[in-house]
Structure 1
C-alpha cells in the first residue's frame, strides 16, 4: 500500500483496509515517503524495517528486486503526497516488469490537479476551468510539486490509470469528476463504509424554538474544510446578535482565532468517542462548511449516525450523499460561502424549521 504520512481520512481508510486484507490472510507492506525522492517500506506492526534501508525512487533495479523478494502481488496506490512525480513512473514500471496488479484508490483530486483539492487562490472551489486557467493558477498560487504544466501532469496520471486493473472511488460524484479526465473504464464506486444503521443511535438535540441555536462543525477544520467560512459566520452572528452558537467538535488550524471569534473548540476526539461527545453538545444541527468537493467525509457519517440535521454546500460527495437520502433541502449554493449573512439567515431558518 503506497500512502502518505499526513493522517486524516486517507489514513483511516488505509488502516481499515489493512484489517480487511489481513483478515483474508494477505501480508501487507506499507510504502511511505522518507524524503521527497525516496521512501521506506514498513509493516503495520513495525513502522521501520531496519534491515531494509530507504529506497531512492530512481533505484529501479533495487526496488524491483525487493518487490520480488517480498512476493508482492498487488500495489494499492492511495496517495503520493510527500514524494515527487517519479513515484508514478516507478509504479508503472513495477506493474509492467513484475507482473503486479495495480488498484488505485482515489481519496482526493491529486490526479487532476497538483493543488489536490481543486481550490484556487481565492480559497474557493475553482470550478475546474480551462487548462489555460489551470496553468495560470499554478503559476500564481503554486503547488507542493514545483513548476507543473497541467496537461503534462494529467497525462502522467492518465498513463498510470491506464495500467490499473481497478480504480476505486468512494462516491458517484467522484466517479463523474474523474471520468472527465480519464478514459479508464474500470472505475468502481465503493463507499468507505457499510450502509449506516440509523435505528441504532439518536442524539438528543435542541428544540427548534430554543433562544440559542447550537451549530456543531465536526472534524479537523482547515481552510479547505471551511474555517474561513466558519469564522465569518461566527463574526457575523456576533455583530448582528444572531441566535447562533458555533462549536467545533474537534480542532481547527487556528484554534486561537476560532476562540477569539466566539467559537467553542472541544479538541481532538477518538472515533469511538465521537458519538458520545456529539450527544453531550445537544446540537440543533451539524454544519459541514467544506469549500472543496469532498470525496467522502467520515464526519458526515458521524452526523448521520446521530440522526441530526446536517447542512452543507451543494458540492462534492457531501452533497451527493445527502441527496441520495432525499435531503436536497439541506444544501445551499457554494456561492453562499461568500455571502455570509445569507448563509447565517439560511442556517437559522433551517434550524427553526427542523423537527425531530
Structure 2
C-alpha cells in the first residue's frame, strides 16, 4: 500500500517495544525508498524524532544495568549489559552492532528533531548529525495556577513530587529518601501522583494519586508543599512535569541532567526560586543538602529579614 504512494515522508517517533527492533531502521529506510530492500519510488524524506534515546541504545533512557546514568554510552567502552539487545531468536546484539543498524537511518534523515538542548548534545555525541539537528521544544499549554506560599518559618519543610513516578523517574531514590526523612524528621515528602507499585514510601510520606492541574493550589495547601523535587534519574527529553512545577511559582529542584536541568537552570537564571542539584551517580541524594537547598530557596519572612540584618 505504501509503495503505491508516489510521494511519502517517513517519520520515526518511537520504536520501544518493537518485537525485533534491530531490524526497524532498515524497514523504515525501505519504506523511504532507500536501502537494500527499498520500495519503488526513489528516495523519500526521513525525519527522526527523539522522544527517548532508543536509536542510541536499547536502554532508551540511557540508564545502565544499575539504573544509573553514566553519560552517553560508547561502543568502544561497552561493558554494560543494559546497552545490549536480545533478538527474538535469543541472539544478543552489542552496542556497536545496535548503533551500526541505526546509523544508516540517522544518516538518511533530512531532519532530526529533539526537544531540548540537552538532547541535542546527547544525539550529537552519538552520531555525526549535528548539522541536521533541530531543537523544537514542545508547545506547552498547561493551565497551572500560580501558587503563593507563606515563607517557611520553622519546622520541617514539605517536599512535593509531581507526576507519576516509575524507576527512571526516581522511584527508588524517593523510597530511600523517605526512609531517611522518617528517621531524621528533616522534611516530609508527598507525591502528587502515583508511585510504581513495586516501591513504597516510609510513613509519614504520602502518595496522593491522580490529580488535575487545577487541583494543585488546593493540594499544595492541603499537604503544605513548600518546594518541588523533580527526582528523574535519566536525562529527560522535555519533561512536561518540570514545566508544570515551574509554572506554580514554588521553588523547583532537579538533578543536573537532561531537559529537566535545562528548564530549571533557565528559570533560575530568570529569577525563579529553586536550583539544580548534583547528579546522584550512586542513585541516592544527600537529604541534608537537599533540605538545606530548599530552605535557602524559600522566601524570607519579615522576622527572618530583621534577624539577618542584625
TM-score of the superposition, structure 2-length normalised?
Answer: 0.81
Match of 2:229 in 1: 287
8 Å CA contact 1:114, 1:144 repeated in 2: no
Question: Whole-Å Cα distance in 2 between the matches of residues 164 and 322 of structure 1?
Answer: 31
Structure 2 unaligned spans of 5+: 34-38, 300-310
Alpha-carbon distance, 1:268 to partner: 2.6
Q: Deviation of residue 284 (structure 1)?
A: 0.5
Of 107-116 and 271-280, the range deviating more from structure 2: 271-280
Shift of the alpha carbon at 1:108? 1.4
Q: Which residue of 1 aligns with 2:70?
A: 126
Counterpart of 2:32?
Answer: 95
Is residue 2:132 matched to residue 1:186?
yes
- Using the TM superposition, give the Cα deviation of residue 174 of structure 1 relative to its aligned residue in structure 2, in angstroms: 0.6
Indicate if the aligned counterparts of 2:69 and 2:281 stay in contact, CA closer than 8 A.
Answer: no
Residue in 1 that maps onto 2:120? 175
Q: Name 2:292's counterpart in structure 1.
A: 349
Which of 104, 107, 114 is matched with 1:159 structurally?
104
Q: In structure 1, what is the Cα distance between the partners aligned to 2:217 and 2:274?
A: 24
The C-alpha deviation readout for 1:90-122, integer Å capped at 9, x for no partner, is: 110111234542221101111111111111122
Choose the corresponding residue for 1:246, options 182, 189, 203. 189
- The answer for the alignment partner of 1:9 in structure 2 is none
Using the alignment, how far apart are the partners of 1:141 and 1:171 within structure 2?
A: 23
Unaligned runs of 5+ in 1: 1-65
Q: Shift of residue 228 of structure 1?
A: 1.1
Question: In the TM superposition, what is the alpha-carbon distance from 1:259 to its structure 2 partner?
Answer: 4.1
TM-superposed CA distance for 1:72, in Å, is: 6.7
2: CA distance, partners of 1:179 / 1:142: 21
Say whether the 8 Å CA contact 2:114–2:136 is kept in structure 1. yes
Give the conservation status (yes or no) of the 8 Å contact 1:237–1:344.
yes
Residue 279 (structure 2) pairs with residue 334 (structure 1): yes
Contact 2:62 2:72 in 1 (8 A): yes
Deviation at 1:250, TM superposition (A): 1.0
Deviation of residue 195 (structure 1)? 8.8
Correspondence 1:10-89 to 2 at 5 A: 66-68=1-3, 73-83=8-18, 84=20, 85-89=22-26
1:312 paired with 2:254, answer: yes
Corresponding residue to 1:269 among 211, 218, 238: 211
Task: Number of aligned residue pairs: give it.
Answer: 283
TM-score w.r.t. length of structure 1? 0.71
Moved more, 82-91 or 72-81: 72-81
Distance in 1, matches of 2:203 and 2:152, equals: 24
Structure 1 position 297 matched with structure 2 position 239: yes
CA distances 1:296-353 after superposition (whole Å, capped 9, x unpaired): 111001001111111111111111222223179711111375554xx21122212222
Displacement of 1:269 in angstroms is: 3.1
Q: Which of 87, 93, 98 is the equivalent residue of 1:148?
A: 93
